């Protein structure tokens, strides 16, 4: 059909400007990074940087921290986000107010909320210690951000608090897209609440869960601002993620080539994660 072919060409022409724009802002930096990671002072150095990377203790520990952070915080966010979405889907008095307050953390700038958490976790004048002391859960004030395990707990708590609303929003939209007739039909068949959830809600929410999972994982792998403010990578480097190390390497040590290598590495890492998710979770289409 010649007419539709023309239309196709015309369509391509129309999207060309945005395609070029996207290429400039997304593709160019990636390619530039790739080139930088294989060169030093404009000299080709092969994979020397990548070899150095795997001998670098600080990199290995920051990689471990990033993965641990991601693997703990993302499932927690998904679980809590699902619970909140299911609750907010119900009709109840003051639902509008509750919905707004649940979404509030997501609307705050991360740096601002991180500063607030830093005060909350302070050992001498922080609220967290005060409450725990009053409830007699702890006997003496704890330096929450001053011990490796506790500090890791704190950054995950802050991240989950901040990002769960994002998952909630997406899942709530998903819940609202499920046709109510399906629930009516399964109720007629005599299913209980748990069966309704398992047979209707969960399978139909899958694409939304996938979106939330992919977004949260990519962002968790690149986590920067909250940790930067809360611990600065401490204590003793025990909460430092890759992004903080990259920042130091590029902007403070001015080692651009090595920094690019780390960026390329985390880029590939994110790609692998996304690939796995789609491979094992996203290939089946839903038919009503």
Residues that bind other proteins (CB under 8 A): 121-125, 140-141, 143-148, 231-237, 248, 251-254
| 3-class DSSP assignment, residue 230 | helix
Nearer to other proteins, 54 or 253 (CB): 253
Nearer to other proteins, 85 or 114 (CB): 114
Nearer to other proteins, 36 or 170 (CB): 36
Q: Which residues contact 17 (CB under 8 A, 6 or more apart)?
A: none
Give the DSSP letter of residue 286. P
Q: Minimum Å distance from CB 117 to other proteins?
A: 12
Q: Minimum Å distance from CB 251 to other proteins?
A: 5
Q: Which residues contact 260 (CB under 8 A, 6 or more apart)?
A: 33, 34, 36, 37, 49, 250
Taking residue 72's Cβ as centre, other Cβ atoms within 10 Å add up to: 16
Q: Minimum Å distance from CB 34 to other proteins?
A: 18
Q: Which tokens sit at 170? A: 């997406």
Q: Minimum Å distance from CB 5 to other proteins?
A: 41
Nearer to other proteins, 19 or 253 (CB): 253
Q: Minimum Å distance from CB 91 to other proteins?
A: 45
Q: Where are the alpha helices (DSSP H) in the chain?
A: 2-22, 28-37, 48-55, 57-89, 95-107, 110-121, 127-134, 148-176, 180-188, 193-196, 202-221, 225-230, 242-247, 256-281
Taking residue 144's Cβ as centre, other Cβ atoms within 10 Å add up to: 23
Q: Minimum Å distance from CB 161 to other proteins?
A: 19
Nearer to other proteins, 48 or 206 (CB): 48
Give dist(CA 150, CA 158) in Å, integer. Answer: 12
Nearer to other proteins, 233 or 241 (CB): 233
């Amino acid at each position: 059909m010649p007419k539709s072919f023309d239309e196709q060409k015309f369509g391509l022409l129309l999207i060309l400007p945005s395609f070029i724009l996207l290429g400039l802002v997304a593709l160019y930096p990636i390619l530039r990074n790739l080139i930088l990671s294989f060169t030093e002072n404009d000299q080709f150095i092969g994979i020397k940087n990548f070899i150095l990377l795997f001998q670098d203790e600080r990199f290995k520990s920051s990689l471990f921290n990033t993965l641990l952070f991601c693997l703990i915080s993302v499932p927690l966010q998904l679980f809590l986000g699902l619970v909140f979405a299911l609750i907010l889907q119900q009709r109840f008095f003051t639902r509008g107010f509750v919905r707004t307050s649940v979404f509030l953390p997501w609307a705050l700038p991360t740096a601002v909320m991180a500063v607030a958490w830093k005060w909350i976790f302070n050992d001498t004048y922080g609220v967290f210690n005060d409450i725990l002391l009053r409830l007699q859960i702890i006997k003496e004030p704890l330096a929450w951000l001053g011990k490796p395990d506790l500090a890791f707990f704190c950054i995950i708590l802050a991240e989950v608090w901040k990002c769960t609303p994002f998952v909630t929003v997406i899942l709530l939209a998903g819940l609202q897209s499920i046709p109510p007739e399906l629930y009516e039909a399964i109720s007629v068949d005599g299913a209980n609440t748990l069966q309704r959830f398992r047979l209707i809600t969960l399978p139909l929410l899958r694409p939304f869960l996938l979106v939330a999972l992919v977004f949260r994982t990519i962002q968790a792998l690149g986590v920067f601002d909250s940790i930067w403010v809360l611990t600065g990578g401490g204590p003793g480097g025990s909460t430092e993620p890759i992004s903080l190390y990259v920042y130091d390497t590029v902007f403070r040590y001015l080692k651009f080539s090595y920094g690019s290598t780390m960026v390329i590495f985390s880029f590939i890492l994110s790609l692998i994660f996304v690939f796995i998710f789609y491979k094992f979770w996203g290939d089946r289409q839903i038919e009503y």
